[in-house]
Amino acid sequence: QSVLTQPPSVSAAPGQKVTISCSGSRSNVGINYVSWFQQLPGTAPKLLIHDNTARPSGIPDRFSASKSGTSATLDISGLQTGDEADYHCGAWDTNLDSYVFGTGTTVTVL
């Protein structure tokens, strides 16, 4: 059902950086705004990034995002054990006239 493609998992040591990609198409990532959500184990998703690059109040600047063409990227720098979670991207799809999510990426801190 997921329209946006993410890598199933990424991992790195504490203090390192991970990058999560979100690949879509023109009708979603290409022309609409991307959000990113963090889902800690056993909890509800939490808004991490909106408007492609903006962080809500309280989200540390270790989390940053960008978008180019039909792909978006979430970077997590200075990785901490508390960052172990699933990360989901999302965007409106103009063709489907509905919101779509990515396949989700599990971040593991080695």
Partner 1 sequence: QVHLQESGPGLVKPSETLSLTCFVSGVSISDYFWSWIRQPPGKGLEYIGYIHPRGNSLYSPSLKSRVTIAADTSRSQLSLTLRSVTDTDTAVYYCARHEEVPFIRRGFDYWGQGSLATVSS
| Residues making contact with partner 1 (CB under 8 A) | 1-2, 32-33, 35, 37, 43-47, 49-51, 56, 88, 90, 92, 96-104
**In this structure, are residues 108 and 20 in contact, taking their beta carbons and an 8 Å threshold?**
no
Rounded to 5 degrees, what angle do the CA atoms 101, 42, 90 make? 10
Shortest distance, CB of residue 24 to partner 1, whole angstroms? 14
- Whole-angstrom distance, CA of residue 63 vs CA of residue 78: 9
DSSP 3-state of 53? coil
Local structure of 108: helix, strand or coil:
strand
Nearer to partner 1, 13 or 41 (CB): 41
Q: Which residue's CB is nearer to partner 1, number 13 or number 68? A: 68
Q: For residues 23 and 32, which CB has a smaller minimum distance to partner 1 in the complex? A: 32
* CB of 69 or CB of 78, closer to partner 1: 69
**Nearest approach, Cβ of residue 110 and partner 1 (Å):** 22
- Least distance CB 97 / partner 1 (angstroms): 7
Cα 8 to its chain centre, rounded Å, is 12
- Extract the tokens encoding 62: 């270790």
